Amino acid sequence: MNKAVVRFALLALLLPLLLNATTLLKDDLLKPEASKLIETMGEELFSKTGIHGYVVATNEKFPERFNLVAYSTKYEANISKPYVMLIFAPNAVITQASGQKGRVGIIPSDPSLVAHYHRSDVMDATIDVVAAKDKNSKEDKFNIGIVQGFSELADEIATSKHVELTTTIPNDTKTIIGYVKILVYIGALFVFWIFILRPIIIRIRNGKK
């Protein structure tokens, strides 16, 4: 009888910790491999920054103008603050008239946490994959989009805290854009040298002669 009481007491103490340990709060869409990646990233994010990252991947059919912030509060009993929650709802209606679906929400537990990430970058990392026209199935795009979006969110929070995560996935799109920007700058400098700076230098030299 005493052993049963002790076990029940231990379970009561550990249950909140187990509930708080998971990064995935709702998973209607992810494959086991994707779920494992997100859980691993979430664990490292918290261990290095003290900020929890949570993911809600739901196939619920939210109506137009559905309040995702209010929806997020239903999970608060089983999660810890501070946190940033990524909600991915591909069946949520954007506008009834257009019939478009798919919404992403990024919800912090406190407004001050917004300074630790760029909302637009996280949104782009999540949505761009889903919107791309390629041979991947819709389900695969959802998996890639959620993983890439959470990875971007975790990386940005870590960067703001001056730490580096080893379990996140590089955002290839962002890397390519970075390279393109560098090439544009180099090209601009080359044009400036050929058509503006070099002729001026030549004129000065000729004037001195």
Give 19-68 pLDDT, tens digit per residue. Answer: 444 899 999 999 999 999 999 999 999 999 999 999 999 999 999 999 99
Domain ranges of the chain: 13-170, 171-209
Are the beta carbons of 105 and 82 closer than 8 angstroms?
Answer: no
Over residues 95-113, the mean pLDDT reads 92
**H-state helical runs in the chain:** 2-21, 32-49, 68-72, 119-131, 138-160, 172-192, 198-208
**Neighbour count for residue 204 (Cβ, 10 Å):** 9
Q: Does domain 13-170 have CATH number 3.10.310.50?
A: yes
97 falls in which pLDDT band (50, 70, 90)? confident
* 169, pLDDT greater than 80: yes
pTM above 0.85, yes or no: no
Residues near 169 by beta carbon (within 8 Å), at least 6 away in sequence: 37, 147, 148, 151
Q: What is the mean pLDDT of residues 89-110?
A: 91
Integer Cα distance of 48 and 37 in angstroms: 17
